[in-house]
Amino acid sequence: MVPLIGLLAIAGICYYFYLRLIKQRNYALEALSSIDVQLKKRHDLVPNILKIAKKFMEHEDAVLTKVTQMRTISASDYDKTDPEEVAQHLEASKQLQSAMMNLFAVAENYPDLKSQDTMIRAQETYEEVEGHISAARRFYNSAVTELKNMVEIFPSSVIANMLGIKAMPYFEVDEAERKPVDASDYL
Amino acid sequence: MTIDDMRQTLHSFDGSGFKPLLDELEAKRQRAFKTFLGAVFICGFIVFFILLDQGGTELFKIAVGLSFVICMFFYRRMAVIRREAKRELMPALCHNIGLEYLMTPASHVIAPFDHLSIIPGYDEKTLEDQISGKIEDVDFQLFEAKLKRVSRDSKGRRSTTTVFNGFLVQFNFHKNFNGQTIITKDHTAIGNFLTGWTKLGERVKLEDSVFESEFEVYSTDQVEARYLLTPTFMERLLEFSRLPNIKQLQLAFKDGSIYMAIKRNGNAFEGGSYNLNDPEMIKQNIKDIAQIFDMVTELKLTQNTRI
């Protein structure tokens, strides 16, 4: 009788950790989806900004092409359950953000473009979208921390290993991106 | 008018025009006070005489009850005169800076706060001193609320407990929020567990450990909650909640507005002085009104992004 109770207790504990792991993984995936929702908004906004910018920045082909390339790469499909693909996807979105920051920095040298109502509105909308991306990133990182703790700390780490659940990569902001952009670097 | 202009105009308010009126009301108040003292003395004398003559009989009890009612009647006359002074002074102070003042707000103004879990449940409410208007491009409405819970003991005796005393404020963000985000006081792990189920939405875990130790955040939209509660805004909220006259701060974001429940000590907009013609009374009211500006500047609500 005692061994049976012991076995049941162990099975119960295992099931509890299994439930928490699955729940946490789904939570992290949900957070990842919320990032994608916000990234999609940026993705949709970029062509409008490029269209306005192209009228004034005829000699900045390199900057504009970089944005277009990064936009295409960041929009490609990926497997959400594969941490490596997720990391690549997040890295691509960071590259797009970086390219956009360069674009706005270079745009500073075009007063006519800067004072365009449509450009001002587009930039405001872009900043709003970036605010939402930042919020989604914080949500995602918080969910990833919870999952990472479960995947790496015993005893849930054993069950995670058995189920093949892996920690997901953080969506971190590069130190370079935290610094203000110096427009002269791109002239 | 910018917030700085409003603040300057408020603080440079010339109260000399009110002096004759306040002198007159003060004279009335002093007469009412003397009448009240006289009533207390006469009633006390009669009650004492009955006690000596007849002891603790029914007549004595009736005399005590009657004396209490008479004294309260004269006491209330003083309160009426004080309210008259307030009725003249507060609208003038508010109109001077382009705001509206209402001494007794409509009872429904509290309705938006009722379902937000930022004020406790109550049975009785007293609402007063509603100030509304616009500070730069931010529409707001503030009123003072005293909320009481009524309970009865086994013998059916009624007792009341004040569960909230302070300001209820609504600032319009001119931005639409999809979800509802509530920021309440942290009640420790057990308290949060017991009260958490009453809140709409899921708990939001934030990175700022100091903020987390003082507040609990619940939201129906995890991303939006973090969009509203940026690290900078969390810092501002912490600083605001530590202002000396604030006992407790709870707030909610819903339908483009930020709702704040600010528990504080004492009654605002009553003037600090007993004498109605004391210049200190106007100064105290000005300080109380200026608290609205403190809220706006501390939380930087007039900035374009507001977050």
Domain-wise residue ranges, chain B: 99-268
pLDDT confidence band for B96 (50 / 70 / 90):
confident
* pLDDT band at A140; cut points 50, 70, 90: very high
* Average pLDDT of the residues in B264-269: 82
pLDDT of A125 higher than 90: no
The residue with greater pLDDT, A37 or A63, is A37
Give the per-residue pLDDT at B261.
Answer: 94
Q: Which residue of A has its CA nearest to B227?
A: A135
Q: Does B230 touch chain A (CB under 8 A)?
A: yes
Mutate to test the interface with B, among A139, A145, A146 (most CBs of B within 10 A): A139
* Single-letter residue type at B229: L
**Which residue on chain B is closest to A127 by alpha carbon?**
B305
pTM of the model: 0.79
**What gap in Å lies between CA A138 and CA B204, rounded to an integer?**
11
The string over B61-84, giving b where at least 16 C-beta atoms fall within 10 Å of a residue's C-beta and e elsewhere, is eebbeebeebbeebeebbeebbee
pLDDT score of B168: 95
Tokens at residue B112, please?
Answer: 């938006």
Residue B60's pLDDT band, with cuts at 50, 70 and 90, is: confident
- Across the range B190-208, mean pLDDT stands at 78
Q: What's the Rg (C-alpha) of chain A?
A: 22
Q: Region A168-177: what's the mean pLDDT?
A: 73
pLDDT band at residue A174 under the 50/70/90 scheme:
low
Task: For residue B157, count other CB atoms closer than 10 A to its CB.
Answer: 8
Q: Which residues in chain A are contacts of B226 at CB distance < 8 A? A: 134-136, 138-139
Q: Mind telling me how many Å the CA of A154 is from chain B's nearest CA? A: 23
pLDDT at residue B203 is higher than 80: yes
CB atoms within 10 A of CB B27: 13
- Tell me the two tokens of residue A150: 């479960």
pLDDT exceeds 70 at position A84: yes
Write A85-93 long-range contacts (CB < 8 A, 24+).
Answer: A86/A32, A86/A168, A86/A169, A87/A169, A90/A35, A90/A169, A90/A171, A93/A35, A93/A39, A93/A42, A93/A133
Q: Is A142 in contact with B305 (Cβ distance < 8 A)?
A: no
Q: What percent of chain A has pLDDT over 90?
A: 27
Chain A residues in contact with chain B using a Cβ-Cβ cutoff of 8 Å = 31, 34, 38, 127, 131-132, 134-136, 138-139, 142
Q: How far apart are the first and last CA of chain A?
A: 80
Instruction: Tell me what the pLDDT averaged over chain B comes to.
Output: 85
Residue B106 tokens read as: 């409509």
pLDDT at A187 over 60: no
Whole-angstrom distance, CA of residue A69 vs CA of residue A56: 20
Which of the four pLDDT bands, split at 50, 70 and 90, describes residue B19? confident
pLDDT of residue B273: 66
pLDDT digits (tens, 9 = 90+) for B227-248: 888 888 898 889 888 888 789 9
Query: What distance in Å separates residue B15's CA from the closest CA in chain A?
Result: 45
Q: Which residue has the higher pLDDT, B28 or B190?
A: B28
Any idea which residue has 């508010």 for tokens?
A: B94
Q: From CA A44, how far away is CA A87, in angstroms rounded?
A: 22
Question: Is B222 within 8 Å of A139 when comparing Cβ atoms?
Answer: yes
Of all residues in chain B, what percent carry a pLDDT higher than 90? 30
Q: How many whole angstroms separate alpha carbon A133 and alpha carbon A147?
A: 21
- Name, in order, each residue with C-beta under 8 angstroms of A141's C-beta and a sequence gap of 6 or more: A170, A171, A172
What are B287-302's pLDDT values in tens digits? 888 888 877 777 777 6
**Mean pLDDT, residues A46-51:** 86
